[in-house]
Amino acid sequence: PVKAPLKDEL
Amino acid sequence: MNIFRLAGDIAHLLAVIILLLKIWKSRSCAGISGRSQLLFAIVYTTRYLDLLTNFVSIYNSVMKVVFIAASYATLYLMYMKFKATYDHNHDTFRIEFLLIPVTALALLVNHEFSVLEILWTFSIYLESVAILPQLFMVSKTGEAESITSHYLFALGSYRALYLLNWIYRYYFEGFFDPIAVVAGVVQTVLYCDFFYLYITKVLKGKKLSLPA
């Protein structure tokens, strides 16, 4: 599975 | 960080501050949907749980804490301190009609089937529709105070600016998160009718009132 994008936003 | 994201975050912060100040200064939460505010508190709580697991920057952490704290402060003012001014007769949108489909969608369409990831996805989907009880309330009463309109404009601008941020990030960083983008588009579209009224009425000094 594709890894979830990095959460760097609010 | 790019200019669109920074502007979006500032608009978001401004919206939250405008709302708190409006309630505090007028000692009244008339015209504000407690149901939307409850949904926003759920949105921030479920999205920012990663404060404990994922450090991005001081800026990121501080903003998260501010958004969580402000949402609970708003709930406190509405449901406790100025409860008598809460216009619950007009705040009748059934939030289970949002919560149930959004929960189902978050379980079905997510990046990864893990607790934090599903809660994050849930918060993104919920945020996109959390303003509906407020918009419903405005349409039911047929009007909104100017300060409420400014709040709604700032809050709507935030996700619209994020759309520009995502276009920028796609081209310059190769960053693309379809869940956030699709939900962001839905969220911004929901505000379009309001944006139109805001620009044609409120900015010309008129009160936001809907045709009967």
Enter the ipTM.
0.84
Going by pLDDT thresholds of 50, 70 and 90, the confidence category of residue A1 is: very low
**Radius of gyration of the CA atoms of chain A, in A:** 8
Share the mean pLDDT of chain B. 96
Listed by start position, the domains of chain B span 3-204
CB B148 within 8 A of CB B197: no
- Residue B136 sits at the vertex; the CA angle it makes with B135 and B141, to the nearest 5 degrees, is 100
Contact partners, residue B20, CB within 8 Å, separation at least 6: B70, B73, B74, B77
Going by pLDDT thresholds of 50, 70 and 90, the confidence category of residue A3 is: low
Interface contact flag, B60 A5, Cβ < 8 Å: no
Q: Give B32-73 pLDDT, tens digit per residue.
A: 999 999 999 999 999 999 999 999 999 999 999 999 999 999
- Which chain A residues touch B110 with a CB distance below 8 Å? 4
Residues of chain B with pLDDT under 70: 212
B49, B60, B118, B121: which to substitute to probe chain A, counting the most A Cβ within 10 Å?
A: B60
Nearest to A4 among B60, B63, B112 (CB): B112
CB B47 within 8 A of CB B123: yes
Nearest to B111 among A5, A8, A10 (CB): A5
- Residue B134 sits at the vertex; the CA angle it makes with B205 and B61, to the nearest 5 degrees, is 100
